[in-house]
Structure 1
């Protein structure tokens, strides 16, 4: 059995209980060493084989999984955050399916939700935004033209932008075009939940200089939208005049 496990955003205690138990029971662990905290390896059993996938190709990762499966060993493939977001797990799962190797996926806390927690904000404020757009700037990995940052920003929804802090100037210009204003609140969170976490908050007008001053170039989430700093409507969920299946409205 191969278990794809989301390690969470950084803090080793933000992995799920189920994910931690899988690590403790695994005979083979393949972890994304460039992003996953090495402290997770402290929970491996004695004698477990540990591989850092930062230096491996897809074929090498699959070879290790195939060999372990032939030896009836449990494998944990440890990804950062939640493996379903920019985790490149589909190609791994397809290879395992071809090889008839059983696998499962255990979700994790994503860096985009960890970043919202770091700045103590809620993406989905009543009357402001009920939509969260998760995206990235084009780089060596292209982005479809219909998903360009300026087109997505035109929806005026809450946004979480991955893998783009190194291009903060270009990001901001595209966001200005989409949002059609410069006073949109924006936060850049470097390594959310890690010990060296940094938080920079501003607007599209001043965030570039603030990010450069903080020397943030990578490993950061860019959160954008009025949810960061605005007035909002009260939630109906806890409004005494609003009835639902668990509570009658007050008179």
Structure 2
């Protein structure tokens, strides 16, 4: 018996990996985060499977379901939104399974920031503009941010920021980032709401006006905030990757 932690992707049912879907199709137990994982994904579970929305459950109740499946010798598809490595509360579940001696593995999924960039038709790393992406969040009712991970510190890098779980905290984001030289009130900002879902919404603006636009759209949850100059870069240099003068093992110098 194995517990399979599966990243379901950002929302669109066809953005799950083939491996993840195949695991769901064969597991007799499917535990999924129903607030963020579409029902179409877990509909692939086999007939008669025990399919449970874990959104209203506690950690103890989730682990109890897994323990019961372990006792029956039944594989479990533990389906999370996006990619399990980011804000999925998977580490605490894995710690419990380690203590219980229950085996598990992980199948990655499409993370929200990648899906948002695709929806925007944007590259988040642009030559000589930005070559770094920072995935972070702000603290509200969730656990506190560790020392040194505040936006004012992270923002010194000038990186493209992918700020999760913070659509109700935009005023704080503005206070932290607008004073920084790399950003400022005119810095491009995007709110990506429910990317991959039928009601997907992309709100484009700047650090100076994105709070007003979010309030006008009445967004309070399930949104990712992207901030950085790469979002509206123009006139940037081409990368060296396909430069005719850039020689490498797969494209040796041409004769003549």
TM-score (norm 2): 0.95
Quote the offset at 1:86 in angstroms.
Answer: 0.4
**Residue 86 of structure 2: aligned partner:** 85
Distance verdict in 2 for CA 1:27–1:239, change over 3 Å: same
2:166 is equivalent to residue 164 of structure 1: yes
2:201 is equivalent to residue 198 of structure 1: yes
Q: Which runs of 5+ in 2 are unaligned?
A: none
**Residue 147 of structure 2: aligned partner:** 145
Contact 2:8 2:20 in 1 (8 A): yes
Q: Which moved more, 1:20-29 or 1:227-236?
A: 227-236
C-alpha distance in 1 between matches for 2:253 and 2:192: 40
**Residue 210 of structure 1: aligned partner:** 213
Quote the offset at 1:117 in angstroms.
Answer: 0.8
C-alpha distance in 1 between matches for 2:60 and 2:250: 52
> Equivalent residues in 2 for 1:41-60 (5 A)?
41-60=42-61
**Residue 118 of structure 1: aligned partner:** 119
C-alpha distance in 1 between matches for 2:81 and 2:42: 14
Alignment match of 1:155 (pick from 157, 168, 177): 157
Distance verdict in 2 for CA 1:66–1:85, change over 3 Å: same
Deviations 1:59-86 (A, max 9, x none): 1111111110111101010000001100
**Residue 226 of structure 1: aligned partner:** 229
C-alpha distance in 2 between matches for 1:2 and 1:72: 11
Contact 1:53 1:61 in 2 (8 A): yes
The total of aligned residue pairs comes to: 251
C-alpha distance in 2 between matches for 1:230 and 1:180: 13
Q: Which moved more, 1:77-86 or 1:201-210?
A: 201-210
2:251 is equivalent to residue 247 of structure 1: yes
Quote the offset at 1:180 in angstroms.
Answer: 5.3
C-alpha distance in 1 between matches for 2:183 and 2:19: 44
Contact 2:158 2:183 in 1 (8 A): no
2:194 is equivalent to residue 188 of structure 1: no
Q: Which runs of 5+ in 1 are unaligned?
A: none
TM superposition outliers: structure 1 runs of 4+ over 3 Å: none
C-alpha distance in 2 between matches for 1:20 and 1:237: 34
Contact 2:126 2:233 in 1 (8 A): no
Quote the offset at 1:249 in angstroms.
Answer: 4.1
Q: What is the SS of the residue equivalent to 2:241? A: helix
**Residue 37 of structure 1: aligned partner:** 38
